[in-house]
Amino acid sequence: MTNTAISLLEKYFGRLFCTLLTLIRNIRAVFFPENKVDQPTRKIVFIKFIEQGALVLHQATFKEAARTYGPANVYLCTFSASTPLIDLLDVFPRENQIVINEKSLWLFAKGFIQALIQIRRNRIDTAIDLEFFSRATAIFGYLTGATKRVGYHRFKGSQNYRGDLFTHKLSYSHYVHVSASGWCQLKSLEIPVKKLPALPFPVPAIQTEVSFRPNEQDLIRLNDLMGAEADNGKSIIIINPSLNDVLPLRRWPENRFRELIGKLTSQFPDHTLVFTGRKDEWEKTGHFMDSMQLPSAVNLCGKTELRDILTLYCHSKLLVTSDSGPAHFAAMTPVHTLVLFGPETPALYAPLSVRTHVIYNALPCSPCYNVYNNRVSPCQNNLCMQSISVDQVMKTVREISRSTHWETSIPFSSQSSSKLS
């Protein structure tokens, strides 16, 4: 399904179903009171349909749940697009991964029902909704039959109405980073429901672990993808220009990338430039590279799977990208990442790594994507991204270069890896 289709379903059908289910819940409560909300948790399912990058941000929360309740008792329900990432998070056993195919409305409806059946069969008693104000996940969480349902409630706020379907209703704060918000949702299970939404503990400082280590097959595959450039003995700088970003306001102007690449090739001539992106960006990126006359650069758009990308990060000096999934994936590796923020705030969404370097100019109109407007902005001119100059980016690149001497913290472990140093 497209983002537009999802938004329409949320707006019209979502509100209706949230209202109906709230009415049903209130009627049921008269005959079947919800009196198990403070009982000990046995099994948890985290619900996070969209945004793979957010799954990386919640990795610490997932691992905390596994430590507390046991890995066999922690589940994740997400869209099929996130499947390659789930194993790499190294938390959820394969049988605990509940996947919904979102490729079409029919497949989504079918997967939605199958996921509910699977959760009920496993007698999962606790559902944690990691989406902020999605009606689809609120409906899904209620229909799981879980006796404890944790999620954000708007109370008297201006966020999406999504009924009254949670037993553990929490207040949303746009001052708390996404990673910490998930951790707080998990810890709310340890507090009596009557004391919520107050949370009597400080917000933790969370960092994403360097958790990905490429194996021999990963290195061989990357050598094949790199082709002749795998043998040139040069270090790698990755450019992820997002020329067809699904959220166009996040795009840094193409002419800025041109200027940046010109300066990178001039100041760091002993490095190979590698361009990454989705399959639908391959042709546009190829034309871009041809117009820049970059014969030794490599276009990997659409040619890589997630493990390929992470292997590439492990053997590269720098990734330059706008705010997007790759910035979060990179936090699982030792690569230094320079992330350009504009319509969203790094205070909530920045990758959690000491090797992440954020450029954000905080214009008065930025951020304009938020949970209050369902990430629908009236902006037609992303000055927040245009205000980021090439000089700003190059200054940060030089600082990274000087402080790290372009050293890779994970040494290559095979003969094939030496070709990518």
Query: What is the distance between the alpha carbons of residues 241 and 184, in angstroms, rounded to a whole number?
Result: 34
User: Would residue 209 count as lying in a domain?
Assistant: no
Q: Which amino acid is at 259?
A: E
What is the DSSP-derived secondary structure letter of residue 205? P
Q: Say if residues 135 and 116 touch (Cβ distance below 8 Å).
A: no
What is the DSSP-derived secondary structure letter of residue 412? -
**The domain boundary residue, chosen from 165, 195, 225:** 195
For the residues 192-208, what does the mean pLDDT come to?
90
User: Would residue 147 count as lying in a domain?
Assistant: yes
Residues 181, 286 within the same domain:
no
Pairing of strands 97-100, 74-79: parallel
Percent of the chain past pLDDT 70, that is, above it, reads 93
User: Would residue 201 count as lying in a domain?
Assistant: no
Residues 254, 366 within the same domain:
yes
Q: Which amino acid is at 231?
A: D
205: confidence class by pLDDT, cuts 50, 70, 90: confident
User: Would residue 204 count as lying in a domain?
Assistant: no
Task: State yes or no: pLDDT of 130 exceeds 50.
Answer: yes
Residues 246, 393 within the same domain:
yes
Task: State yes or no: pLDDT of 244 exceeds 80.
Answer: no
Number of domains in the chain: 2
11: confidence class by pLDDT, cuts 50, 70, 90: confident
| Preceding omega of 202 cis (within 30 degrees of 0) | no
315-319, 369-373, 378-382: the lowest-pLDDT one: 369-373
Comparison of pLDDT for 143 and 35, the residue scoring more: 143
- What pLDDT shows up at residue 374? 76
Residues 414, 274 within the same domain:
yes
170: confidence class by pLDDT, cuts 50, 70, 90: very high
407: confidence class by pLDDT, cuts 50, 70, 90: very low
Residues 133, 275 within the same domain:
no
Query: What is the distance between the alpha carbons of residues 56 and 285, in angstroms, rounded to a whole number?
Result: 27
Check which CATH number belongs to the domain holding 286 and give it: 3.40.50.2000
3-state percent breakdown (helix, strand, coil) of the chain, nearest 5: 45, 15, 40
CA dihedral of 100, 105, 107, 108, whole degrees rounded to 10: 20
**The domain boundary residue, chosen from 195, 227, 242:** 195
Query: What is the distance between the alpha carbons of residues 124 and 44, in angstroms, rounded to a whole number?
Result: 6
Q: Is the pTM of this model over 0.75?
A: yes
Q: Could you tell me the two tokens for 385?
A: 């991204």
Query: What is the distance between the alpha carbons of residues 177 and 352, in angstroms, rounded to a whole number?
Result: 10
Task: State yes or no: pLDDT of 33 exceeds 80.
Answer: yes
User: Would residue 208 count as lying in a domain?
Assistant: no
Task: State yes or no: pLDDT of 112 exceeds 80.
Answer: yes
Pairing of strands 74-79, 235-240: unpaired
**The domain boundary residue, chosen from 163, 195, 227:** 195
Residues 286, 187 within the same domain:
no
12: confidence class by pLDDT, cuts 50, 70, 90: confident
pLDDT tens per residue, range 272-330: 899 999 888 888 888 888 888 887 889 999 999 999 999 999 999 999 999 988 999 99
16-30, 379-393, 406-420: the lowest-pLDDT one: 406-420
Residues 237, 361 within the same domain:
yes
Residues 164, 274 within the same domain:
no
33-47, 292-306, 350-364: the lowest-pLDDT one: 292-306
Residues 141, 282 within the same domain:
no
Pairing of strands 44-47, 235-240: unpaired
- What pLDDT shows up at residue 411? 39
Cβ neighbours, 10 Å, residue 21: 18
Q: Which amino acid is at 61?
A: T
- What pLDDT shows up at residue 416? 46
User: Would residue 207 count as lying in a domain?
Assistant: no
Task: Tell me the residue range of the domain where 163 lies.
Answer: 3-195
User: Would residue 26 count as lying in a domain?
Assistant: yes
pLDDT tens per residue, range 180-197: 999 999 999 999 999 999
Mean pLDDT over each residue of the chain, to the nearest integer: 89
- What pLDDT shows up at residue 371? 83
Angle between helix 135-143 and 15-31 (nearest 10): 30
Task: State yes or no: pLDDT of 168 exceeds 90.
Answer: yes
Task: State yes or no: pLDDT of 419 exceeds 60.
Answer: no
SS3 212: coil
Residues 222, 368 within the same domain:
yes
Residues 8, 131 within the same domain:
yes
Pairing of strands 168-170, 235-240: unpaired
Neighbour order of strands in the sheet with 74-79: 97-100, 74-79, 44-47, 126-129, 148-152, 168-170
Task: State yes or no: pLDDT of 382 exceeds 80.
Answer: yes
Task: State yes or no: pLDDT of 87 exceeds 80.
Answer: yes
Q: Which amino acid is at 80?
A: S
Taking CA 250 as the corner, what is the angle to CA 246 and CA 251, rounded to the nearest 5 degrees?
A: 90
Q: Which amino acid is at 409?
A: S
For the residues 38-51, what does the mean pLDDT come to?
94
Residues 177, 231 within the same domain:
no
User: Would residue 397 count as lying in a domain?
Assistant: yes
pLDDT tens per residue, range 327-354: 999 999 999 999 999 999 999 999 999 9
- What pLDDT shows up at residue 67? 96
Burial class (CB in 10 A: 0-12, 13-18, 19+), 36: exposed
Percent of the chain past pLDDT 90, that is, above it, reads 63
Residues 6+ apart with CB under 8 A from 107: 101
Task: State yes or no: pLDDT of 412 exceeds 60.
Answer: no
Alpha carbon 84 to chain centroid distance? 13
64: confidence class by pLDDT, cuts 50, 70, 90: very high
Give the DSSP per-residue string, 218-273.
HHHHHHHHHGGGGGS--EEEEEE--TT-SSGGGPPPHHHHHHHHHHHHHH-TTEEE
Task: State yes or no: pLDDT of 35 exceeds 60.
Answer: yes
